[in-house]
Structure 1
Amino acid sequence: MAQMKLYYSPNSPYARKVRVLAIERGIADQIELVEVSTADLAGPLMKVNPLGRVPALETQADGVVHDSPVICEYLDGYTSSATGPGKVIDLADKCFAATAQGMLDAGYAVRMEKTRPEHLQWQDWNDKQFGKINRTLDQLEANPQTLPKEPTIGAIALACTLEWLAFRHPEGQWLANRPNLAKWTNAFSERPSMKATQPA
């Protein structure tokens, strides 16, 4: 029987990070997936998170946990406490996760800008956000030894971010001239957890 409920939308990269982590940590069967629309003001999402943002995790023991980095940390700690002593904080991976989150936020900002009428879109804004992403990817490409070798929170965040960028902003050609990142992404994308959570 599921002990938690995850309110999510299938194409949300933020929610996907949580779903991938749950599969990787072997607790997906303890989480009931509740598909919601962030536009439905009368829907179940607003009752657990009035901000209307996904994902949101409803737990029996700790109430509602929201914001994907917090949920990922919560679930990682949940699995640790169930199997033994808590994990030592991995500062490098936390910074890696924050870097991936920053790129995702920049890409999402452009996604929102593109929903405006074309004559109202601010190209300089889009260029600024894409610049953040490209500079970060260039740094990662130049330092392949820093790319995670295990499905850590940071690794999951990066893989979901790169696949979402390709999904929503294919014009960026993010991996075309970045062979180290392309190799890493292609390998990570073969994980069953990534295949099971592909956006539609």
Structure 2
Amino acid sequence: MKPKTKYILSILVISGFALLYYNHNNELTETSFDSTELKYAKRFFGIGILCLVLYFFNKKLKNLLTKIMFGVFGISLALNLYIFPRIYESVRINKIYYEYSEIETCEEMEKRFATDLKNGEIKYFQFGIGYNVGLEKTLKEQYNIETFGMGCTIQSEKECYNKLVNEYLKKDFNKSISDIEKESDLYKLIENN
């Protein structure tokens, strides 16, 4: 095998393995979904390893095995790259959710809000049966506020944070969350027609 071929194959194997390891460890623990893409990525990577072992024992098939390794390691890497952003985003959201879940009082939430405001990283926690996608989009695009769906159980400390967000919006933009919610619903109706 030529040095350039070895180098490229090594990069494919190492980067593919690193992504496979990350995706495997975080997919089920952080996102609770088991994607078909990851299953196929594991299978292709396994075929690549099998071909790599055979490469050292069978001199006649070295060229064919090299081509197969490029193909299967490449497919495995492509599949891992495809699912990586989705898993990474879920991991990021879960870390933020965990971080805010550790805050237990309104006073601590006020301190956290002040820090978030200073850093330009304001959050809004939506409670209720349905998640308002229009509100999420409007808050993100127009006010740079990231929204998190919290489900039906209202958490008082996060409600304290939401009140501070509402006060901030009233003070700086002369709008409340309910005003923005109505606008986003209106926006959704206009977009659908």
Q: Pick the structure with more helix per residue.
A: 2
Q: Normalised by the size of structure 1, how large is the TM-score?
A: 0.29
Q: Normalised by the size of structure 2, how large is the TM-score?
A: 0.30
Higher relative contact order by CA 8 Å / sep ≥ 6: 1 or 2?
Answer: 1
Q: Pick the structure with more strand per residue.
A: 1
Between structure 1 and structure 2, the one with the greater Rg is: 2
